Amino acid sequence: MQTEIEAKFLQVEPDEIRTRLKKAGAQCEQPMKLMRRVVFDNDVMRKKDAFVRVRDEGYRITMTYKQYDEMSLTGAKEIEFTVSDYDAAIAFCEAAGIVPKSVQEARREVWKLDDVEVVIDEWPWIRPFVEIEGPAEDSVVAAAEKLDFKWENAAFGDIMTAYRAEFPGTGTTPADMVYNQSDVRFDDPVPDILKR
């Protein structure tokens, strides 16, 4: 598995981030697009803080196995590859006995800055955030610095890191995870687990 080296900067204003990206010399590789995904797991994956995801990114379809060994800059491990058919990939997972647990929507804009990828993400019920992913810790830190982010404000981990920042009553058990909802979509009402 590959180590994902990634930091999040939460609760940002997208237009301000675009201005910073342009000033730093970044290039927009994909304008904001709606993404859809289905997340799967089973008992074995739950014990490893892992899941399988099929995601239609608007310009490619990926299948990913992701496992969180810890919530840190280098704590996520993943295996990711592209596939040609979103529906067939979902059917494959279901036929293999991996249980679909959530259908999710998000919007993503992708920028390239030196050797890192910077994305502006929008998810239901929370403010936009930035993810900076690179080949090494120093490249992620350098990109954050170029974009005027304070490293001490970096957040690490799965999407629940962003949800907990805005809904502090959200717990840390699997039952408290927003992605355990059957639907995480922009037009859906805020689920009860976030209202605590």
Rounded Cα distance, 11 and 118, in Å: 15
30-49 tens-digit pLDDT: 999 999 999 998 889 888 88
Q: Is the pLDDT of residue 173 over 90?
A: no
Q: Is the pLDDT of residue 176 over 70?
A: no
111-158 tens-digit pLDDT: 999 999 999 999 999 999 999 999 999 999 999 999 999 999 999 998
Place of tokens 């929008």: 122
Question: Which domains, from first to last, does the chain contain?
Answer: 2-187 (2.40.320.10)
**pTM here?**
0.91
| Residues 119 and 110: beta-carbon distance below 8 Å | yes
In the structure, what pLDDT confidence band is assigned to residue 91 with cuts at 50, 70 and 90? Answer: very high
Rounded Cα distance, 146 and 122, in Å: 22
**Average pLDDT across the chain, whole number:** 92
Rounded Cα distance, 37 and 16, in Å: 28
Q: Greater confidence, 178 or 152?
A: 152
13-27 tens-digit pLDDT: 999 999 999 999 999
Q: What is the pLDDT of residue 14?
A: 98
In the structure, what pLDDT confidence band is assigned to residue 175 with cuts at 50, 70 and 90? Answer: low
Alpha-carbon distances of 131 from 26, 67, 81, 107, rounded to whole Å: 14, 18, 20, 13
